[in-house]
Amino acid sequence: MRNAIGSYQTEKVQMKLKVTAFCIATVVAQPNAFAAEEVTEELNSQTVYIDESDDWVKLKSGEVLKGELTGTVKKESNSYDQEIEFDSDDLGDQEIELEDVSVLETASYFTIRTASGEIHDGYLSIRDNKLYLKKGDQEQSFPVTQVVSIYRGSEKDSDYWTADLFFGLDISKGNTDEFSMLGEVEAERNTVESRTKLNARHEVSESNEEKTAQKSQFDGSYDIYINNRLFFRPIKFSALSDEFQNLDYQVNASMQVGYFFIANSDTEWDVSIGPGMQYSEFSTVEEGEDSSASSTILTLESNFEYELTKDIDFSYTYNLDWASDDAGGMRHKNDLGFDIDLVGDLEFSIKATWDHVSQTKADSDGVVPEKDDYKINFGLSYEI
């Protein structure tokens, strides 16, 4: 009997210990559970502070980016594959498919082109798979899948233009006194339907007070976009004066068709080709030789730009003008450039040029100019 009572009391004590342990565990665990719940809720919440001047985009995955909408990336003409380029404040340039955008709000003026070829402009936003443009009190909407291209624009035409000014100067004194100067202005106007490119440069060099180079050149072209890759260039014009190539002046005009082989946030490469006419006036010629020459020409142009790093850009432009032998034959022009960001819009630039003419014209003294010219310039560029 005593054994039974003892066993019963032992079981009762053990039961009390188990209940006490359970209560303690429950009390300890509850705050942790509540804390975990609070942490989860805190992690799931997201607060994004956006200024009035910011563009911002929310993806269908729930991610939110703020920064600046640059425009569309030049993909194939199939509008369903369109991507936008968004310059995020934290992540840099990002390419985002339009179909992945849940909401896009911008603070700037944009121009769009639709699959039917229509051009529209206004303040842009995207929601519910539709693109909206607001202009004054009017708002238009378009299915996102029908948007072919988007360009950052403005109600002022001057805002479609960008320009770069370059100035390079090399001076050396001592046993040899040398002086070299290069000035260049580049301007480009981009809209949703066209592109205008202008370039003017002048260089002069002296060695021991004797002129060794004097060259002036102007190039201009106008492109009409047929779709996001293909473009038509109704006019490409260039004028050249080079004293040491025995060219008083040379002008040519051509018509080209071009194509963007690569076009994304880091790299752009387009090539164009077409026929044209060329007229050359020589400074002096040998007795009995014509002082001028005209010819039909085949023109080819290649423009390649690549962002090596966030602060360094590389560019390479190649031009070929293929004329008859008496008009100079084949002229190859190679321009290589590196631009390194310094402060704001100021850059340190390195420019290298190689020109080759297959058939140079002798002057009145019978001196035949060299076929190749090489030049490297260091200077500063400023973007306007």
168: domain CATH number is: 2.40.160.40
pLDDT tens for the 384 residues of the chain, in order = 444 444 545 555 455 555 555 555 554 445 444 444 444 444 455 666 777 778 999 999 889 999 999 887 665 444 345 788 898 888 888 888 888 899 999 988 888 888 777 888 889 999 988 999 998 888 999 988 888 788 876 656 777 788 999 999 888 777 777 889 999 999 999 887 889 999 999 999 988 888 888 999 999 999 999 887 899 999 999 999 999 999 999 999 999 999 999 887 788 999 999 999 999 999 999 998 999 999 999 999 999 999 999 899 999 999 999 999 989 999 999 999 999 999 989 999 999 999 999 999 999 989 999 999 999 999 999 998
CA 74 and chain centroid, separation: 11
Verify that 350 and 240 share a domain, yes or no. Answer: yes
The domain in which residue 366 lies consists of: 159-383
CA 315-316-317 angle, 5° bins: 125
CA distance 326 to 319: 20
Single-letter code of the amino acid located at 307: E
Q: Are 71 and 149 in contact (CB under 8 A)?
A: yes
Beta strand 138-143 with 55-59: parallel, antiparallel or unpaired? unpaired
The tokens for 117 are 């070829």
Verify that 235 and 373 share a domain, yes or no. Answer: yes
pLDDT at position 15: 57
> Is residue 347 a part of any domain in this protein?
yes
> Is residue 40 a part of any domain in this protein?
no
Verify that 104 and 172 share a domain, yes or no. Answer: no
> Is residue 352 a part of any domain in this protein?
yes
What would the pLDDT profile of 57-97 be if each residue is shown by its tens digit? 999 988 999 999 988 766 544 434 578 889 888 888 888 88
Verify that 20 and 87 share a domain, yes or no. Answer: no
Determine whether 226 is exposed, middle or buried from the number of CB atoms within 10 Å of its CB (0-12, 13-18, 19+). middle
CATH of the domain at 142: 2.30.30
Verify that 266 and 298 share a domain, yes or no. Answer: yes
> Is residue 169 a part of any domain in this protein?
yes
CA distance 266 to 287: 54
pLDDT at position 77: 44
The tokens for 229 are 């890759």
Q: Are 220 and 198 in contact (CB under 8 A)?
A: yes
Query: Which long-range contacts does 44-51 make (Cβ < 8 Å, 24+ apart)?
Result: none
Q: Are 218 and 236 in contact (CB under 8 A)?
A: no
Count of beta carbons in the 10 Å neighbourhood of residue 96: 20
User: Does residue 95 sit in helix, strand or coil?
Assistant: strand
- Domain final residue pick, 98, 123, 154: 154
- Domain final residue pick, 120, 138, 154: 154
Verify that 138 and 227 share a domain, yes or no. Answer: no
Verify that 322 and 374 share a domain, yes or no. Answer: yes
pLDDT at position 263: 81
CA distance 92 to 100: 18
User: Does residue 28 sit in helix, strand or coil?
Assistant: helix
Global pTM? Answer: 0.73
Verify that 141 and 181 share a domain, yes or no. Answer: no
> Is residue 69 a part of any domain in this protein?
yes
> Is residue 101 a part of any domain in this protein?
yes
pLDDT at position 97: 85
How many separate domains does the chain show?
3
Verify that 149 and 166 share a domain, yes or no. Answer: no
Q: Are 148 and 115 in contact (CB under 8 A)?
A: yes
CA distance 291 to 245: 14
CA distance 129 to 317: 40
Verify that 11 and 106 share a domain, yes or no. Answer: no
Verify that 236 and 364 share a domain, yes or no. Answer: yes
- By C-alpha distance, which of 68, 88, 75, 67 is closest to 268? 75
pLDDT at position 229: 86
Q: Are 282 and 276 in contact (CB under 8 A)?
A: no
Verify that 163 and 112 share a domain, yes or no. Answer: no
> Is residue 11 a part of any domain in this protein?
yes
Phi, psi of 19 (to 5 degrees): -65, -45
> Is residue 245 a part of any domain in this protein?
yes
CA distance 235 to 229: 18
- Domain final residue pick, 108, 124, 154: 154
